Amino acid sequence: MGAAEARLFAREGAKVVIGDVLDDEGRQTEAAINEFGGECLYVALDVTSEKSWASAVAETVNRFGKLDILVNNAGVVSRVPLEDLDVDEWDRVMDINSKGVFLGTKAAIPEMRRSGGGSIVNISSISGIAGQSYVSAVYNASKGAVRIFTKSTAIQYASEGIRANSIHPGPIDTPMTAFRQGDPQAVADSIGRIPLGRNGIPDDVAYGVLYLASDESSFVTGSELVIDGGFIAQ
């Protein structure tokens, strides 16, 4: 989803910085965006490291002069049943999915303040709103934390022109959900729970991110945008 978001932002004229621990994939996305005429910089980023975030923000400002938008997109899934869940797995998921959002937000806000405002878009999940049997409780907990953290950020920084909103995707066809793709029955069951009758694709989410990052959503903060084909409306 992050790659789709970066491509869309670049097509819309944004100067894009992407970060990951997957250097090869990150540089491939950077090259692809620059080849079609966009402007993209890849930086090595471990979202669980405060030092890594500080470096990524500094590189962004050094290259482009300011920081207007932050999309906290990094995430991992877990399907370990609650009684089999150990502390290491709990910490792994919470560190990436929740602490990463906190550290990214903390690092970005001072630069947004210097720019006169900004927009933070945090990728949560429908799992941050309702429980599901097919993911681990730690995944639900981590995404629920992102949901309420976003609202707190929005309230605290609204007076400075910094907005914060969360996006809650349903089933999206990405490598993270590939565990279902090899099981035709699991795919059928998933689609059967979606009123629109299909899984989402990364661009479905990317357009929502673009809206919340843009001036078109200037009166939107502390909100949650559900992109799930109607899954949790039932």
Query: 202-225, pLDDT tens digit by residue?
Result: 999 999 999 999 999 999 999 999
The answer, yes or no, to whether residue 9 has pLDDT greater than 80, is: yes
Q: Is 139 a catalytic residue?
A: yes
Catalytic residue among 42, 134, 139, 211: 139
Residue 85 within a domain: yes
Domain residue limits at 172: 68-233
Closest listed residue to residue 45, CA positions, set 8, 20, 77: 20
Rounded to the nearest angstrom, the gap between the alpha carbon of residue 191 and the centroid of all alpha carbons in its chain is 23
DSSP 19-84: EES-HHHHHHHHHHHHHTT-EEEEEE--TT-HHHHHHHHHHHHHHHS---EEEE---------GGG
The answer, yes or no, to whether residue 180 has pLDDT greater than 70, is: no
- Asked whether the beta carbons of 204 and 172 are under 8 A apart, the reply is yes
DSSP 201: -
Residue 61 within a domain: no
Local structure of 183: helix, strand or coil: coil
Average pLDDT value over all residues in the chain = 95
154: confidence class by pLDDT, cuts 50, 70, 90: very high
Residue 55 within a domain: no
186: confidence class by pLDDT, cuts 50, 70, 90: confident
CATH number for the domain that contains residue 137:
3.40.50.720
Residue 43 within a domain: no
The answer, yes or no, to whether residue 91 has pLDDT greater than 80, is: yes
Local structure of 92: helix, strand or coil: helix
Summarised one tens digit per residue, pLDDT across range 136-150 is 999 999 999 999 999
CA distance 228 to 232: 7
Tally of structural domains, the chain: 1
Q: Give the per-residue pLDDT at 181.
A: 66
Which pair of structure tokens corresponds to residue 231?
A: 């899954």
Instruction: Confirm whether pTM is higher than 0.75.
Output: yes
The whole-number average pLDDT for the span 45-56 is 98
- Asked whether the beta carbons of 72 and 105 are under 8 A apart, the reply is yes
CA distance 71 to 158: 17
The whole-number average pLDDT for the span 97-109 is 98
Summarised one tens digit per residue, pLDDT across range 14-25 is 999 999 999 999
Residue 50 within a domain: no
